[in-house]
Structure formats: C-alpha cells, structure tokens
C-alpha cells in the first residue's frame, strides 16, 4: 500500500514508470510481430529448400535414365537382329526364336530394361522379348498395339507413358522409327525403379499426407494416386499446366485456404517433359511453427513481467534527483501540487524556477531601462548643450567612455529619409531605431569605446572615446568600424547611412559644438553621395570657399543654348557648373542651383512673351523636386530633363501637343484612379467628353500600348510595391489595386514578372 501511495502521489514518477513500461511493451510487441511473420517466412523457405532438394534428385534420376535409355535405343536400332526383324517379309519360326533369344540376353544385362519390341509394318506383327511366338502379342497385353493404333504421331526418343487399366503404374516406353506407317523399335523399362521409390517416399512422410507425384505437361499424374488427403486435384493440375505453359520451370506456392490450404512445389524436366510435383498440407509446417511460437510466447511473457519489475526500480532511481530538487525548492515536498491534480513535480519545479527568473529578469529589466533612459537623457543634453549637465550629473551615469580623455562626435544620417519616413510605419520606425542603435554600439565598440543615442530627427549620434587596446591607429580603426556598420545595415535592413565625423576634442564641454559642425558637414552628402563617410579634412576646403558669383558668361551661354535648342552646348555648361559646385560651400551650392532654376524660368517666360506657342512648365514643382534630392547627380538629371522638356514642347506642333496633353491627362487619371474597379477606356473617355476610339487611338500612338494594358501595368506596379512594403494579405492587395478576380490577377502578375504574388512574397521573406 505504501508503494502504491508513493507512486500515486508522485505524478512525474508515475509518468516515468509508465513511459518505461510502455516502451518495453511496444518493443516486445514489435519484436514479437516481426518474429511471428519472419518465422512463418523462414519456415516456408526451409520447407521449400527441402522439397527442392528431393525433387532435384528425382529430376536427376529421371534425366539420367532418359539419356541412358535413349543411348540404348539408338544402339539397339543398329543391331542386325533388330534390322532383320524390322524388314523381313516372311518370318521363319526358328529364326525368330533365335533372334529374340539374343535380344532377351541384351535386356537381361540391364537391371531397368523391361523389354525390346519390334513392330514389323510389312507383316503387321510384334516381335517382343516378353511375347510368345504369336506375332500379334506385343508383350504388354496389347498396351503397345493399342497406343500405336490410337496415335497419329508418336514422340521419338523420349519417355512415353503407356497407361492401362490392367496395370497400377503406366509402362514407360521409348519409340524409334523412320515414319509413322513404317516399322518401329519400342524399348520399355521397368516402372518400379521410379514409381516404387515414390510410393515408399510418400509413405515415409507425415501421416502419409504429403505426396510427391510425376505428371506430364498437362498435370496428369503418370501413376495412380494414393488415397491420402492431398492429391493432384483438378485445380492443382490447372495451376501446374498454366505455370508450365507460361515458361515457369519450377515454383513454390501456397494454395487454397482454411483446412484445404496446402503447399505446392513443382519442377519440370526439359529432357523428358515430365513434371515432379509435391503437395504438402500447410498444417504440417504450421504445426511445427506453432510449437515454436508457443514456447516463444511464454518466454516473452516472462520477460515482460521481469521488465515491469525492473522498470519500477529504474524509474525510482531516475526519479531520486528530481525528488531531491523538489525538496530544495520547497520544504513541503508537495506544497502547491497536492491541490492541483494536473500538475506534476517537474511542472511545479519549472513554475517555481520561472517565477524566480521572471522576477529577476523584471528587476534587471527595470534597472536596465532606468539606466538606459538616464543615459539617453544625459547624452542628449550633453550633445545639444554641453553646459546643461554638471560634472556631478555626468558621474551619476555608468558610461562606456572616459570623459577625461579625447572625444569625437559622429552623426549617422539616414539616406533617402523622406522616402523612409513615408513608407515606414511607426512600429517599423521604432524597430529600425532599436536595430541601428544596438548594431552601431556592437560593431563600433569592438574597436573603440563609444556611446550611441538616437536623436529626434533623421539621425543618430555616435560619441567615440579612446581606442581599444592593441587596435592600432584610432582614426583607421574608427573608419573600419563605420564601414562595417554601413555594410551591415545595407545588407540586412536595406538602409543606407551617411556618416559625418567631427574633430577630436579633449573636453566634453566641446561636444555640442562638434555636434553642430558634424551636422553642418553632413550637408556635403550632396557632393560625396549617399553612404559616404565625411570627415572635417574632407570638407575643409569647401567650408573655406565662401565666395561665389554666378558667372555672367555661363548665364549668357546657357540662355543662348536654351533659345537656340543646342543641347550639347547647354549640357557642356551644365557639367562645368556642377564641377564648380563640388568645391563650393554648401550654401553656395544651393544658391547656384536655385539661381540656375530661376534663370531657366526667366528664359522660358521671355520666350513665351514673344511667341504664340507656349512652353508650359510647373517651375514651383520642379524646384520642390530638385530641393528634395540629397546628391548632385539626380539634380543634374532633373535640370537636364527640364531643358529637354522645353525643347520638346517647342518643336512639337499644335496638334501633337494637344494629343500629348490628352495622353498625359489619361496617364494622370490612371495613376490617380487605378484602384477603381470600374476604371476603363469608356469611363476615361466619358470623363474627358471624347469618343473612346479617339482616346484609344491617340494613347496607343504615343505610348505604344492600349489603355487597358497601361491600367494593368500601373496596377501591377502598385501591387509589387505593396508586396514589398506592406504586410497586407494577397487578396487585400488585389482589391487595393483594382482587381476582384484572383485568378486573373495571378495570371497578369506572373505574365509580367514571371512569378506569382505568393512566390514573390516568399522570395522577399527568404532574402530578408
């Protein structure tokens, strides 16, 4: 009772015991099942091998006897007495007796020959070593004569069974003749050498229920069957006949079902054409197998009880460490468990451990958050205005840098920030902010001591202290760390970062001043491009180059190029101007760009005042586009595009200009209303008060595609953009871009991009 109460009160111990026991039971069950089926198969294979050995020996004896008799028949056919008896027209009695006497001596020399018989076609008489001098006596009570008369063709030089109702076993003969109507030599053997052995072998089998037979190709036995249970039934004969006709020389199979189930094996002889068959009751093999299985069953049962007893001891020994741990967790071993029947010891220990860890982590997290908040607040105050924090406040924070050594400010500026701001949700922004701060801290701190703080705008500040030991030159180590940081953010987050560094200062009170200079130097991203590292030395000449005057010669040449339409001259002057910008102060660069735009606007206004054909340009929008760019390359392309647009309008006739305006209006309507399910050629033409045919013709003339194709192109581009930037479902994106048929949407998407929307989203996830 104490043992039962012990296991009942310890649920995990009970689970352990049941697991071990079930594992043993499953193992024994599986092994027993495999043993059961494997023993059946093995026993049948052993029985098959035994049967095949016996039948192989019988087959060898038959083939040997067949060849021997064949040789005797051939040699006998050349005997003078046989030739004489086969061809004589009139037989003399004395001569016949003499010749048969000599043939009888030949027969007596062989232990298996029964007789030699000659059928003379001329006299119609039989001359046999077993017959009297009566020429109609074939020596076998007319069996040979009856067989010859009943056959149209008689096989030569092969065993021919001559069945007779007067004999239990058929006579076995071998014929040799020139033609069917001519004389014949018949040699017979004693059937006892074969059939008596078979009879004795069948009597030696278990209860005379197993039998070995010799049949012809049709499955008919060559000797009378014994009266046992297993005989060659019509079904078995049919099976043998079908197997032999299909080319199977030997086989072993289980036939029938229930009490009539038996094992059939057979082997055919190619020389004699006979088939040796064995039929054995399945019960004979099954009886031997059952005895073995009963013994195995009792052994397995005994082993199972022994395993269960052993599992009790093993389970308790495995449980003891858990019991000791449970005692350490609580003084009352079952406290909190007895009242909860669904809780075992491990769950109780795990819950207690998790509660402790949770409290510890929560405590550490609170402490860490407080420290991080305090450090962030202190860093922002220090960077914004170094006079705000006092030395005492500085010392209250656990810094990773030494404020008594030289410090350097680095500004990490997010490239394409306007696009980043519009395409990123608030949750994603917080995630990026956390990632950039932690990755910057982790990578840069490998080389130099540092602190990182996100500012409220589009940038982060990296405050760098002294270099790590054995890291070599400070600036080269910092540059290497910053490049690694840029590559990591670009590879994993697709974020390009421009870095602007300040001068190294020996007092932390100078940090805020260097922060302002680093921010100012970051503006030179317009020259050095996105993802660059801008140092004070790199922009020193630009900052000193504060004087600039827009060249009147440049203005004159650009004015002439715009008015005359000389793009090469305009582009040449534009390249020279942008080359000059690369050494200017940032303010002068902005002045030069705005002055250039103002110059182009004045030229267009002047040309429009002197001609009927007007050039239409939205300069306010062009200025906004230019000022949004962060580097000179796209600004150059935009200004060149403005020039090309001016010249295109000037060279375009009024009709073409009108048609171009129509096409641009249609494209604008599609860009703004692509989400509308009813958007089509008809709806666009109706809104413009024009015929559908005219709108379609002019649009195809300018865009080389139909309006419906352009609508699908815009919608699919918008769908691709949503797949890349939003977590919406495929059906939601399909609706947002103006489709309501999923199959049609998938078909168009795959035709354009070579991949389905689902496959494209999966590809994005894998790449991330």
pLDDT confidence of residue 133: 65
Quote the pTM value: 0.46
**pLDDT band at residue 202 using 50, 70 and 90 as cut-offs:** low
Given the DSSP bridges, would you call strands 533-534 and 497-501 parallel, antiparallel or unpaired?
parallel
pLDDT tens for each residue of 514-563: 898 999 999 999 999 999 999 999 999 999 988 888 888 988 999 988 88
**pLDDT band at residue 332 using 50, 70 and 90 as cut-offs:** very low
Tokens of 273: 């054409």
pLDDT confidence of residue 207: 43
Show me where the domains of the chain are located: 369-544, 545-651, 654-768
CA distances from 642 to 575, 602, 611 (A): 15, 13, 19
Q: Which helix (H) or strand (E) holds 58?
A: helix 11-77
**pLDDT band at residue 154 using 50, 70 and 90 as cut-offs:** confident
pLDDT tens for each residue of 645-668: 888 877 765 556 667 778 888 888
Q: Is 106 helix (H, G, I), strand (E, B) or coil?
A: helix
Q: Identify the weakest region by mean pLDDT among 268-277, 538-547, 688-697.
A: 268-277
pLDDT tens for each residue of 100-129: 888 888 888 877 788 888 888 888 888 888
**pLDDT band at residue 283 using 50, 70 and 90 as cut-offs:** low
Given the DSSP bridges, would you call strands 113-120 and 211-215 parallel, antiparallel or unpaired?
unpaired
pLDDT confidence of residue 286: 63
Q: Cα(311)–Cα(314) distance, rounded to whole angstroms?
A: 5
Q: Cα(262)–Cα(47) distance, rounded to whole angstroms?
A: 12
Q: How many CB atoms lie within 10 A of CB 101?
A: 11
Where are the alpha helices (H) located in 445-566, listed in sequence order? 474-493, 511-522, 525-528, 536-544, 552-564
Helical packing angle, 632-651 and 586-610, nearest 10°: 0
Beta strands in 142-293 (DSSP E): 160-162, 171-177, 184-189, 211-215, 250-255, 262-268, 275-281
pLDDT tens for each residue of 723-749: 888 888 888 999 999 998 888 999 999
Distance of alpha carbon 602 from its chain centroid, rounded?
A: 67
pLDDT confidence of residue 380: 82
Q: Cα(401)–Cα(504) distance, rounded to whole angstroms?
A: 14
Q: Cα(470)–Cα(487) distance, rounded to whole angstroms?
A: 24
Helices (H) and strands (E) in the chain, counts: 28, 14
More confident residue, 416 or 355: 416
Where are the alpha helices (H) located in 78-184, listed in sequence order? 80-87, 93-108, 143-150
pLDDT confidence of residue 655: 56
Q: Identify the weakest region by mean pLDDT among 374-378, 421-425, 493-497, 626-630.
A: 374-378
Q: Which residues lie closer than 8 Å to 410 by C-beta, 6 or more apart?
A: 461, 462, 463, 464, 478, 482, 499, 500, 501, 502, 518
Q: Identify the weakest region by mean pLDDT among 352-366, 553-567, 590-604, 714-728.
A: 352-366
Q: Which helix (H) or strand (E) holds 601?
A: helix 586-610
| Angle at 304 (CA atoms; ends 299, 309), nearest 5 degrees | 130
Q: Does pLDDT of 698 surpass 90?
A: no
- Does residue 281 come out as left (phi exceeding 0), alpha (psi in the -120 to 50 range) or beta? beta
CA distances from 406 to 444, 536, 741 (A): 17, 16, 65
Residues 12 and 322: beta-carbon distance below 8 Å? yes
Beta strands in 269-416 (DSSP E): 275-281, 408-414
CA distances from 724 to 415, 418, 555, 730, 758 (A): 19, 18, 45, 12, 12
pLDDT confidence of residue 650: 76
Q: Which CATH class is domain 654-768?
A: mainly alpha
CA distances from 78 to 84, 85, 117, 599, 674 (A): 10, 12, 14, 134, 110
The reply to whether CATH 3.40.50.720 applies to domain 369-544 is: no
CA dihedral 187, 191, 192, 197 (to 10 degrees): 130
pLDDT above 70 as % of the chain:
79
If you average pLDDT over residues 490-504, what whole number do you get? 91
pLDDT confidence of residue 531: 92
Q: Cα(700)–Cα(233) distance, rounded to whole angstroms?
A: 89
pLDDT tens for each residue of 72-111: 888 888 888 888 888 888 777 777 778 888 888 888 887 7
Q: How many CB atoms lie within 10 A of CB 104?
A: 15
Residues 498 and 488: beta-carbon distance below 8 Å? no
Q: Which residues lie closer than 8 Å to 559 by C-beta, 6 or more apart?
A: 599, 603
pLDDT confidence of residue 358: 63
If you average pLDDT over residues 129-149, what whole number do you get? 78
């Amino acid at each position: 009772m104490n043992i039962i109460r012990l296991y009942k009160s310890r649920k995990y111990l009970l689970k352990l015991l049941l697991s071990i026991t079930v594992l043993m039971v499953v193992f024994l069950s599986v092994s027993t099942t495999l043993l059961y089926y494997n023993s059946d198969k093995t026993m049948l294979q052993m029985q098959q091998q035994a049967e095949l050995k016996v039948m192989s020996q019988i087959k060898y004896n038959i083939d040997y006897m067949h060849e021997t008799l064949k040789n005797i028949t051939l040699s006998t056919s050349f005997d003078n007495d046989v030739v004489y008896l086969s061809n004589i027209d009139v037989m003399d009695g004395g001569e016949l007796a003499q010749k048969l006497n000599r043939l009888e001596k030949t027969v007596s020399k062989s232990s298996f020959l029964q007789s030699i018989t000659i059928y003379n076609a001329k006299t119609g008489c039989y001359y046999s070593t077993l017959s009297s001098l009566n020429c109609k006596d074939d020596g076998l009570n007319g069996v040979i004569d009856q067989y010859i008369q009943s056959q149209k063709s008689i096989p030569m030089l092969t065993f021919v069974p001559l069945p007779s109702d007067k004999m239990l076993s058929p006579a076995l003969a071998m014929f040799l003749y020139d033609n069917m109507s001519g004389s014949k030599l018949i040699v017979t053997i004693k059937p006892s050498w074969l059939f008596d052995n078979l009879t004795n072998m069948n009597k030696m089998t278990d209860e005379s229920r197993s039998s070995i037979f010799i049949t012809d190709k049709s499955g008919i036995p060559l000797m009378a069957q014994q009266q046992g249970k297993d005989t060659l039934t019509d079904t078995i004969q049919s099976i043998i006949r079908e197997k032999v006709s299909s080319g199977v020389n030997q086989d072993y199979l289980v036939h029938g079902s229930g009490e009539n189930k038996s094992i059939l094996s057979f082997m055919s002889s190619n020389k004699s054409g006979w088939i040796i068959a064995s039929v054995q009751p399945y019960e004979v093999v099954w009886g031997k197998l059952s005895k073995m299985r009963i013994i195995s069953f009792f052994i397995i049962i005994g082993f199972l009880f022994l395993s269960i007893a052993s599992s009790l001891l093993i389970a308790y020994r495995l449980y003891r460490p858990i019991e000791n741990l449970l005692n350490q967790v609580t003084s009352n071993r079952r406290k909190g468990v007895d009242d909860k029947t669904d809780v075992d010891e491990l769950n109780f220990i795990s819950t207690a451990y998790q509660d402790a860890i949770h409290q510890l982590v929560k405590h550490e997290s609170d402490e860490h958050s407080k420290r991080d908040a305090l450090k962030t607040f202190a860093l922002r105050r220090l960077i914004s205005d170094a006079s705000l924090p006092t030395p005492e406040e500085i010392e209250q924070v656990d810094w990773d840098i030494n404020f008594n050594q030289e410090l350097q400010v680095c500004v990490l500026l997010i490239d394409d920030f306007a696009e980043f701001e519009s395409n990123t949700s608030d949750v994603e922004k917080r995630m990026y902010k956390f990632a950039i701060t932690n990755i910057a801290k982790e990578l840069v701190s490998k080389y130099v001591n540092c602190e990182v703080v996100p500012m409220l705008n589009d940038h982060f500040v990296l405050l760098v202290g002294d270099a790590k030991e054995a890291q070599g030159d400070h600036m080269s180590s910092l540059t290497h760390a910053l490049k690694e940081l840029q590559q990591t953010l670009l590879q994993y987050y697709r974020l390009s970062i421009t870095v602007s560094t300040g001068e190294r200062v020996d007092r932390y009170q100078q940090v805020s001043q260097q922060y302002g200079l680093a921010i100012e130097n970051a503006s030179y991203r317009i020259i050095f491009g996105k993802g660059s590292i801008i140092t004070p030395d790199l922009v020193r000449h630009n900052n000193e180059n504060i004087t600039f005057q827009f060249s009147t010669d440049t203005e004159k040449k650009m004015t002439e190029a715009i008015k005359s339409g000389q793009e090469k001259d305009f582009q040449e002057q534009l390249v020279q101007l942008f080359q000059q910008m690369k050494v200017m102060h940032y303010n002068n660069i902005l002045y030069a760009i705005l002055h250039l735009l103002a110059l182009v606007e004045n030229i267009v206004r002047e040309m429009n005042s002197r001609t009927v054909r007007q050039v239409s340009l939205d300069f306010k929008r062009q200025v906004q586009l230019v000022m949004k760019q962060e580097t000179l390359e796209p600004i150059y392309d935009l200004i060149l595009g403005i020039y090309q647009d001016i010249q295109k309008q000037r060279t375009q006739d009024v009709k073409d200009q009108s048609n171009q305006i129509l096409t641009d209006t249609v494209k604008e309507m599609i860009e703004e209303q692509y989400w509308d399910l009813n958007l089509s050629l008809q709806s666009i033409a109706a809104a413009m008060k024009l015929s559908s045919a005219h709108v379609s013709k002019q649009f195809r003339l300018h865009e080389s595609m139909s309006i419906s194709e352009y609508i699908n192109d815009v919608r699919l581009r918008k769908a691709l953009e949503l797949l890349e930037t939003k977590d919406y479902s495929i059906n939601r994106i399909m609706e947002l871009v103006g489709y309501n048929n999923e199959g049609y949407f998938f078909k168009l998407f795959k035709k354009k991009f070579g991949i389905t929307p689902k496959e494209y989203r999966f590809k994005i996830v894998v790449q991330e």
